[in-house]
Structure 1
Amino acid sequence: MSEDIQRKLQTELDGFKNNQKELQKAIATRQQLDGQLNENEIVKKELDLLPADGKVYKSVGPVLIKTDLVEAKQNVGKRMDFINKEVKRVDEQIISLEKRQDSHRETLQKLQHQFEQAQVKAAIHA
């Protein structure tokens, strides 16, 4: 009986650790997206400061290519929309992983309690 509980406990612990790794990866992704969003917000503010006839250059590899101001603003806006959608998706993933983490934690506590009870019973009957 004790070995069965111990096996379940180990399986649950492995699931908990895997979930924890996924959660850490999702949080790192979220932080990276925040950085990208901040960079794009700064670019947008800078583009908004330019006069209508202002010159904008886009870096393509080692070359700077002249770009239309309106097009540059649209590209930055589209990029920010995409990043915001990714942020939402990752936030939902983080919430889901945190709920799963809580579930693993509860199950681990129950199994730990059952394991301790089984050990006490085994000690009494020994």
Structure 2
Amino acid sequence: MSDPKVAAIQAQLQSQSMAFQKLEAELAGIIEARQRLDSQLSENEQVLKEFTLLKPHNTVYKLVGPSLVPQDSSEAKVNVEKRLEFIRSEIKRVEAQLKEGEEKAAKKKNEIISLQQQFQGMQGPSGQQQAIQA
């Protein structure tokens, strides 16, 4: 009763489903990285705004290990601006990864749907319920 074609499609379906789950996990990681970058961007933008509130006589400190060390405010501002530039470029890179991952996931999903339809067609009307559950 076990048709080799049906078994082959079942194996393909299982393999494709596992690959899809792996892609979904990768996408979750990319989304998490994007959220971290958004948080860093907001924090650094806030720091940059704080620099505009500084008076010339205010001292800026930098945390080095367990101690605060005085730092030139213009140097600190330049460092924050460079960090913002880097974060924005990372956001662009991560967004490209996210778009690519979403496209791969959509393609894999369509492949799975196609395999499910083939499987259902081979099973006939009585096997359709089993194919949907697979």
Name the SS of the counterpart of 1:51 in structure 2.
Answer: coil
What TM-score comes out, normalization by structure 2 length?
0.88
Matched, 1:70 2:74: yes
CA offsets per residue over residues 45-79 of structure 1, 9 Å max, x none?
Answer: 00111123321001112100000011000000011
User: Is residue 105 from structure 1 mapped to residue 103 from structure 2 by the alignment?
Assistant: no
Gaps of 5+ in 2: 128-134
The reply on whether 1:15 has 2:15 as its aligned counterpart is no
Q: Is 2:51 the counterpart of 1:47?
A: yes
Secondary structure, aligned partner of 2:101: helix
- 1:35 pairs with one of 28, 32, 39: 39
Measured in 2, the distance between the counterparts of 1:49 and 1:86 equals 28
Task: Give 2:97's match in structure 1, choosing from 93, 97, 111.
Answer: 93
* TM-score, normalised relative to structure 1: 0.93
Aligned-pair distance for 1:11? 1.0
Gaps of 5+ in 1: none
Q: Letter of the 1:120 partner, please give it.
A: G
Does 2:8 correspond to 1:4? yes
Please give the per-residue CA displacement for 1:90-121, whole angstroms capped at 9, x wherever unaligned: 00000000001100111110000000111118
